[in-house]
Amino acid sequence: MNRFLPLVLAMAVSFASTSAYSQTSAVDSAEKNANAVGDTKTNEVKASDAKPVDKTNISTINDAQQTDVKVPARPQQPEIIRVNEKRTNLLLFNTGAEAITGTIGGAADVFLLGTLGTVVSTDLDRLVLHTGRLDIDTGKAQLAISTRLASVTVRPNSAVVIEVHPRKPVRIMAIGGANQDNVMVKTRGKRGQIIWLKPGEEVVITDSVLPKEDLLPSDGVARQELTMAIQAKGLDIRKMTFNDAQMAAQETARLEANYRLGGDKKSGLNRLVSHVVQGAQVIEPKFAPAKVGQANAVAGGDPLHIMAEGGSEFTIGSDGAIKLRTGFLFIHADKMAEVDTAVGQAFGDKDALFCVGASSNRMRVMACSGPDDVWAVVGDHKLPVAPGQEVLVCDHDPKDEDKMPPDGIGRRDLTTKQITDDFSVTFADFSIVSLLFSQEHLKTVRQGVKDVDKDILERLERAAAAINTITAVKGPYKSTPKSKPSNAPGKQQRPV
């Protein structure tokens, strides 16, 4: 990072360092509970150990079933995502039409399709599904995915669906590929069970006692439980088989009807459909997907890229907006992004780089690109945020610790005014360089290993250099060193 030295000296910013917050998190349960596949201390259960089931007799396929497009059930209440410092690089599927293709999780030629509300992390090239549903198709390389109760390895040229929802079982369905054991599921723990799945088989894993109806999905596809000895401490594990052709008819209709993708994403979707059809044709050689229209299809894009401070808490609303309860987010917006807080909203236009911090009584919006990329809304007031500018909205008279929080970010030229009876706004310049170096969750950007991080780093460099050239006459920035977490549990200080 030597290229930053002249810029850092010119801007005269004092950078502070501190140890990362150690707050535990529900989001990081996959890191704690889903061990890497390949542990030698395992008990392996293969499909051949189970009593064979004639899947052709589970149910029959008719024309109505082929055209009935069902959307997977979603939880009634959105899950609160609590970000752990080890899992800060997040991808949010906030329209229900986003897809990912290419290299992810260390595997090339992967295709991922997520429903609305799906959240995955990609730190250290490890793909973790925290909540939601992913349709996954592998190309020439196998892919490993972690969940809170199990890790999943999908062999090349295979398709699988994984569902993770709060207070629901983890469900892994092998839906496509050759008629072989192409999905390996390893339950959590050093002595976890290994379960193999081939197309037409699924495993349901839960760590709590659930009603029977919660163990069965709402997709209407008939299932039959396999009789086999699968035991793991603290887990209820059930392996089932379903009619591949019935599932394929429904799945291909849903994919064709709801997703309008282009380029590499379209190719990935076509490959997913092809593998699903391949699995169905093992049971019904003449199976072919039904033709459906795309009247309700939504144009797909990339999921929202978020780098979140450890301890941040948010949900994803049914409108796709991020509902930030507390914490600090750096957002790389592929499309227009909205972040709602207790005191206002922050918006970033397509391709914007911006930060949003929030607590119960304030919101902080920082623009790292522009102009006209970022704005805040408080009541009837729209507040444009220029590159290198911060807008702090408070429902009280801001104190010094509000305006200059202990976060290591350099600020200058602070101005406060009352915009309504309830809210005040403080405008300030901030140092993009100090933001980059003081925030632990931006480490991957500083390192600039992946193309996406290199692109963000280059844009931040250009913006910082341009701002320094134009505003150097304002003088140096001042910062307050980052505070350290308290030793008392639950009393950690985390500035907005």
Residue 440's SS3 state is helix
Distances 328 to 19, 312, 433 between C-alpha atoms, Å: 17, 6, 17
CB 191 within 8 A of CB 40: no
CA 35, 40, 46: angle at the middle one, nearest 5? 90
CA 494, 474, 410: angle at the middle one, nearest 5? 15
Residue 229 is predicted with a pLDDT of: 63
Residue 228 is predicted with a pLDDT of: 65
In this structure, what token pair is assigned to residue 351? 């391709």
Q: In this structure, which amino acid lies at residue 132? A: G
CB 265 within 8 A of CB 101: yes
Q: Give per-residue pLDDT as tens, 338-384.
A: 999 999 999 999 999 999 999 999 999 999 998 999 999 999 999 99
In this structure, what token pair is assigned to residue 183? 């999905």
- Choose among 402, 130, 440: nearest CA to 310: 440
Residue 489's SS3 state is coil
Q: Give per-residue pLDDT as tens, 7-55.
A: 443 444 333 333 332 333 434 444 444 333 233 333 444 433 444 444 4
The count of C-alpha atoms lying within 13 angstroms of the C-alpha of 36, restricted to the half-sphere facing its C-beta, is 6
In whole angstroms, give the CA distance from residue 221 to residue 200. 11
In whole angstroms, give the CA distance from residue 228 to residue 181. 16
CA 85, 447, 127: angle at the middle one, nearest 5? 50
CB 143 within 8 A of CB 160: no
Query: Which letter, b or e, does each residue of 380-412 get, where b requires 16 or more Cβ atoms within 10 Å of its Cβ?
Result: eeebebbbbbbbbbbbeebeeebbbbbbbbbbb
CA–chain centroid gap for 64, Å, is: 35
In this structure, what token pair is assigned to residue 125? 């090239």
Residue 414's SS3 state is strand
CB 40 within 8 A of CB 186: no
User: Across residues 332-341, what is the average pLDDT?
Assistant: 94
CB 35 within 8 A of CB 184: no
CB 127 within 8 A of CB 144: yes
- Burial label for 215, CB within 10 Å (0-12, 13-18, 19+), is middle
CB 111 within 8 A of CB 137: yes
Q: Give per-residue pLDDT as tens, 86-142.
A: 999 999 999 888 999 988 888 888 999 999 999 999 998 899 999 999 999 998 889
In whole angstroms, give the CA distance from residue 196 to residue 187. 12
In whole angstroms, give the CA distance from residue 496 to residue 492. 13
Between strands 337-340 and 322-332, the pairing is parallel
pLDDT bucket at 487, cuts 50 / 70 / 90: very low
Residue 119 is predicted with a pLDDT of: 95
User: Across residues 219-234, what is the average pLDDT?
Assistant: 78
pTM confidence score:
0.81
Least confident stretch, 3-7, 390-394, 419-423? 3-7
Measured N-to-C along each axis, helices 263-280 and 244-258 cross at an angle, to the nearest 10 degrees, of 160
pLDDT bucket at 190, cuts 50 / 70 / 90: confident
Domain map (residue ranges) of the chain: 2-21+309-474, 29-80+98-298
CB 258 within 8 A of CB 69: yes
Average pLDDT, the chain: 82
Residue 401's SS3 state is helix
Helix intervals (H) in 259-293: 263-280
Between strands 170-176 and 89-93, the pairing is unpaired
In the block, which residue shows the tokens 């699995």? 279
